[in-house]
Amino acid sequence: MFPALETEVKQESLPDPYEDFMYHHLQYYGYFKGHRGSLPTSATHQHVWKNNPRYLLSGSFGERQGMVPDPLQKEKLLWPTCISSPVHRQIEAVSRDSLMLSSPLLKSRQLLHDEFGEVSPCLREPRDLFTFFSSSGPLQAPRWPIECEVIKENLHHIEWVPPQPEYFYQPTGNEKLPEIVGEEKGTVVFQLDSVPTGGSYFTSSRVGGKRGIIKELAVTLQGPEDKTLLFESRFESGNLQKAVRVDTYEYELTLRTDLYTNKHTQWFYFRVQNTRKDATYRFTIVNLLKPKSLYTIGMKPLMYSQLDAKTHNIGWRREGNEIRYYKNNRDDGQQAFYCLTWTIQFPHDQDTCFFAHFYPYTYTDLQCYLLSVANNPVQSRFCKLRTLCRSLAGNTVYLLTITNPSRTPQEAAAKKAVVLSARVHPGESNGSWIMKGFLDFILSNSPDAQLLRDIFVFKVVPMLNPDGVIVGNYRCSLAGRDLNRHYKTILKESFPCIWYTRNMIKRLLEEREVLLYCDFHGHSRKNNIFLYGCNNNDRKYWLHERVFPLMLSKNAPDKFSFHSCNFKVQKCKEGTGRVVMWRMGILNSYTMESTFGGSTLGNKRDTHFTTEDLKSLGYHVCDTLLDFCDPDRTKFMQCLTELKELLQQEIHKKFNELGQDMDLEGSWSDICLSDIESSTSGSDSSLSDGLPVHLLNVADELNQKKKMYKKKKKKLLQTRKQRNEQYQKNNWMQELKLTEDALSRLHGRDKGTSLDPSKMPSLILTKNKERMQTEKPRSTVSCSPKRSTNSSQEPAPDMKSHWSRNRYPATKRGRAAMTVYPSLHIYTYP
Which residues participate in catalysis according to the annotation?
593
Report which DSSP code applies to 676: G
Distance CA 357, CA 363 (A): 17
**417 three-class SS:** strand
Burial 447-459 (b: 16+ CB within 10 A, else e): ebbebbbbbbbbb
How many angstroms separate the CA atoms of 30 and 25, rounded? 9
d(CA 333, CA 345): 36
Q: How many residues does the chain have?
A: 830
CA–CA dist 198, 105 (Å, integer): 49
How does 422-443 read in b/e, with b if 16+ C-beta sit within 10 Å? bbbbbbbbbbbbbbbbbbebbb
Q: How far apart are CA 693 and CA 47, in angstroms?
A: 61
185 and 212 Cβ atoms separated by less than 8 Å: no
3-state DSSP assignment of residue 427: coil
Distance from C-alpha of 593 to C-alpha of 547, rounded to nearest angstrom = 17
Q: Which residue(s) pair with 354 in the sheet?
A: 271, 304
The CA distance from 21 to 198, in Å, is 58
Longest dimension (CA), the chain: 121
CA distance 210 to 222: 29
Residues in a beta bridge with 188:
244
Judge contact between 385 and 132, C-beta under 8 A.
yes
Q: 233: closest CA among 270, 203, 205, 266?
A: 270
- The set of residues, in sequence order, having a beta carbon less than 8 Å from that of 226 and lying 6+ positions away, is 274
Classify residue 485 by burial, with Cβ atoms within 10 Å: 0-12, 13-18, 19+: buried
In the DSSP assignment, the letter for residue 13 is H
Work out whether strand 396-402 and strand 383-390 pair parallel, antiparallel, or are unpaired: antiparallel
- Identify the CA nearest to 329 among candidates 183, 179, 176, 174: 179
Crossing angle of helices 430-442 and 447-455, rounded to 10°: 90
